[in-house]
Amino acid sequence: MAKRCGAPRSKAPPGTHLLSVLAHRLGLTLTQQAVAAKTNEIKEVETVLSQIVLAGRVVTMDALLTQRQVAQTIVNAGGDYIMIVKENQPQLKADIELVFTMPSGGRPPRERAYGRRGSWAHRDP
């Protein structure tokens, strides 16, 4: 969802930094919001999200916008999201990695052995 327009800020000539919402399949920019100089997209994303229909949509964004409030706004409006998680959010990254290392998406697996079905769970001592 978020796209910086133009050169990186450190090398960019004076101009406008924009937060854009793109419909990738259509190849269209749906809306844009100027981002003030001395700030970042986090302060503007709520405004941008309020300008589009989120119900039934999947919103993708870069790591900067991986914020609890952004996710909640999307879910409250009936949408889904895909967010990038990097090392700057170590607990969130560890929690996600844990879910994907657990069999069956966090549920104990069902096993079949000796003609019987059973399940197991790991418990910390």
Distances in Å between the alpha carbon of 80 and those of 14, 61, 95?
A: 35, 12, 19
Beta 110-113 vs 116-119: how paired, if at all? Answer: antiparallel
pLDDT confidence of residue 16: 84
Q: Give the number of C-alpha atoms closer than 13 A to the C-alpha of residue 15, restricted to the C-beta side.
A: 12
pLDDT, one tens digit per residue, over 17-71 is: 899 999 988 999 999 999 988 888 998 999 999 999 999 999 999 999 999 999 9
pLDDT confidence of residue 20: 93
Confidence of residue 125 (pLDDT cuts 50, 70, 90): very low
pLDDT, one tens digit per residue, over 89-120 is: 999 999 988 888 877 655 555 555 565 655 55
pLDDT confidence of residue 38: 82
pTM: 0.68
Mean predicted lDDT score pLDDT of the chain: 81
Q: Is the dihedral of CA 84, 88, 94, 97 positive or negative?
A: positive
pLDDT, one tens digit per residue, over 47-62 is: 999 999 999 999 999 9
